[in-house]
Structure 1
C-alpha cells in the first residue's frame, strides 16, 4: 500500500529528491512544470509510485481548487495545495532513472480520460485549509 503524506512530509520528500536528482533524463523531454496531459514521450515504466496525497479517510475529496490571485490551473507557478483539487487525488511518482518526482492523477470527463502529470517542486507546496 502506498503511504499517505501530508504537506509537511511532501515538502521533505520533494526537497530530498531535488537534492539528489541524477542529471538529465528522458523523463524531462517535455517540460512538466505545470499540469500537462501525460506526454507520449514519457516512458511510464520508469515511474514508480512512492506516496499518495489521497487520504484513506476521505471518501469524497473536494473539487475546490486553491488559486490565490486567480492563478491559472495550468501555470508553472500555480501552488501545490495537497488538500485541494487536483492534488488531493494525486499519487507521487519517482523516476527510477533520475529520481525526479511527479504528481499524477486521472482527469475523467463524460467522454474522455486524461492522465495528467506535473513536476513536484518543494518551493510551490503550500499547506492551506
Structure 2
C-alpha cells in the first residue's frame, strides 16, 4: 500500500484485527494508547511505516462531527473509532515494523499549539457510521 492509499473499512478492520492479535512486548507501546494520547518524544518513529490514510480529500476541509452514541467523548478509551468522523477523518494509519501493531495518528492544531496524537487501532471499537451530509 502506498502512503496516500485511502483505506477502506474492510482494510481497516483487517489491520485492527491483526494488530489486536499481537501479544509480544515492544518499545512502540502502541497497545497502551487506548485513547487519544500525545505522542511522546521517546516514540520510535523510525520503526513505523505508514500503511495509508483515512483522509478523503486533502484539499477539502473534513467534518468536525464526532460519533459518541454511548456518552463517550473524545478522550474516552471506549470511544468508537468512527473512521469517517473527526478526528479519524484526518488520520494516517501506521504500523510498527517490529511488533506489527497499528495505530491512528493525526496532528491536533489548536490556537497556539500543534500536538501529534496517536491511538491504538482496536477492532472492538471500529464502527462504520455514515459520514455527515
TM-score when normalising by structure 2: 0.87
Query: Is the Cα–Cα contact under 8 Å of residues 82 and 88 in structure 1 kept in the other structure?
Result: yes
Off by >6 Å, runs of 4+ in structure 1: none
Answer whether contact 2:30 2:102 (CA < 8 A) is retained. Answer: no
Identify which range, 25-34 or 106-115, moves more after superposition: 25-34
Give the secondary structure class of the aligned counterpart of 1:103.
strand
Residue 88 of structure 1 is matched in structure 2 by 89
Cα shift at 1:29: 7.9
Measure, in 2, the Cα distance between the counterparts of 1:86 and 1:66.
10
CA–CA distance in structure 1, aligned partners of residues 81 and 66 of structure 2: 10
Alignment match, 2:110: 109
| Contact 1:7/1:127, CA 8 A, preserved across alignment | yes
Distance 1:30 1:126, change over 3 A: closer
Structure with greater helix share of residues? 1
For residue 10 of structure 1, report the CA deviation from its aligned partner: 0.7
Cα root mean square deviation, aligned: 1.9
Deviation at 1:69, TM superposition (A): 2.5
Offset of residue 41 of structure 1: 2.4
Contact 1:90 1:104 in 2 (8 A): yes
